[in-house]
Structure 1
């Protein structure tokens, strides 16, 4: 199934991106970059409920679920929307905190490298998820792709100015 394959590919791409960013954390010692890396890892894990939903959606109808399990994808989509909303709240909070308490940038080149890696990984996943989601008619997969794209532009350290 295309949906399961898209979720698997994007999960491994985002995990690879997270690993590369973690290596930069080890080199730079940036606590803010570590927080962003943890955020990207949690974003990779949004693929798991979608994967479960695609698998459940293939199950046949039962006596208790006479229309089958196709709505499992809707529940996964709601979970993804909740993660996007929470990410927006955290980004807003971090932005206000940085305006109130600005800090000088250190290890800028390492943070730029991590930002580029984060952006590239998120954008590759976004393009793939959105394309496959539209092809198979999965609003949840498209939503997760948009979430990855949004994270690429807003959560990477180089675009938010976060550094330690």
Structure 2
């Protein structure tokens, strides 16, 4: 089952990526002007972050389109892992930007320079905060509807931008108020450190998905509760779960009394599958039926336990 199969979810996910690219382009234009007027390293840090956000948003746009495509003959499990691959790419570029910002801030610590027209920089940062807040709010709604890890990673970047923009405003105000040019590069270093931490968080989540980490324990417990809610199901074992972009893949072995008819056990297994898919939209569920007390007729020959050679 594809979480993007209905037009509403698919449209929301795509609109979120378009909005992300548009906001990034707006912020880049504003911050280029603010940096050219002020020469602030903190604004430069925020500008570089916005440039990378624009790139990440474009990657997210492509990844969401690929991940929402249906499975094919060549890709039986779909292309859901396009999303964590995109998130991992974002993390690499974000980490690179943090290193570049650290070098730039270090140079300004050695050769401090005064900031010009700080009021322009403050005004631009306020515009950035308002635009980013609107985008993050919309992305939060889309994430609830689609569970897209790529959009979640993109939203995490912009949440970091909110703190970074606030830090830039603080740097500009304190530099003007105290007359200490070293405050600006110090805030630039702090922003770079936060960007690097954000990159680590994104990369870890992407790697978990690429390496097929199990679903969270609370989700696994809910699957178990659903299976055992059917009186015919005596127990369950070998629950295996993983995520691939917007999809969940769930395998479970259900234990039935061996005297239960095959038709009945199959019907119950199907009911379990349907209820789990309703609980976790976008899931593909396979429930295997295991008899716990198999009955053999006395006149049934036992299964062979050894292989007989031709010349025995």
Q: TM-score, normalised by structure 1?
A: 0.78
Task: Give the drift of 1:143.
Answer: 1.6
What is the CA–CA distance in structure 2 between the aligned matches of 1:38 and 1:95, rounded to whole Å? Answer: 13
Is 1:151 the equivalent of 2:161? yes
Which whole-Å CA distance do the structure 2 matches of 1:157 and 1:30 have between them? 12
The yes-or-no answer on 1:52 pairing with 2:67 is no
Deviation at 1:52, TM superposition (A): 1.0
Q: Distance in 2 between matches of 1:38 and 1:85?
A: 12
Higher relative contact order (CA 8 A, sep 6+): 1
Rate the CA distance shift 1:109–1:96 in 2: closer, same or farther, 3 A.
same
Question: 2:31–2:124: 8 Å Cα contact kept in structure 1?
Answer: yes
Task: Give 1:66's match in structure 2, choosing from 76, 79, 84.
Answer: 76
Q: How does 1:132-147 map to 2 (within 5 A)?
A: 132-147=142-157
- SS of the equivalent of 2:73 reads coil
1: CA distance, partners of 2:94 / 2:145: 23
Structure with higher strand content: 2
Distance 2:132 2:31 in 1: 12
Q: Give secondary structure in 2 for the equivalent of 1:64.
A: coil
Q: 2:24 maps to what in 1?
A: 14
Q: Which blocks of at least 5 consecutive residues in structure 1 are unaligned?
A: none
Distance 2:84 2:28 in 1: 27
Q: How far 1:7 sits from its partner (Å)?
A: 0.8
C-alpha RMSD of matched pairs (Å):
2.8
Give 1:138 shift. 1.6
What are the residue-to-residue correspondences of 1:73-152 with 2, within 5 Å? Answer: 73-152=83-162
In structure 2, how many angstroms separate the alpha carbons of the residues matched to 1:34 and 1:158?
A: 13
Which structure's CA Rg is the greater one? 2
| CA spacing shift, 1:103–1:131, aligned 2, 3 Å | farther
Number of residue equivalences: 161
Retained in 2: the 8 A contact 1:133–1:140?
no
Distance of aligned partners of 1:96 and 1:129 in 2 relative to their CA distance in 1, 3 Å threshold: farther
TM-score, normalized by length of structure 2?
0.45
Structure 1 residue 131: Cα displacement: 3.6
| Equivalent residues of 2:64, 2:150 under 8 A apart | no
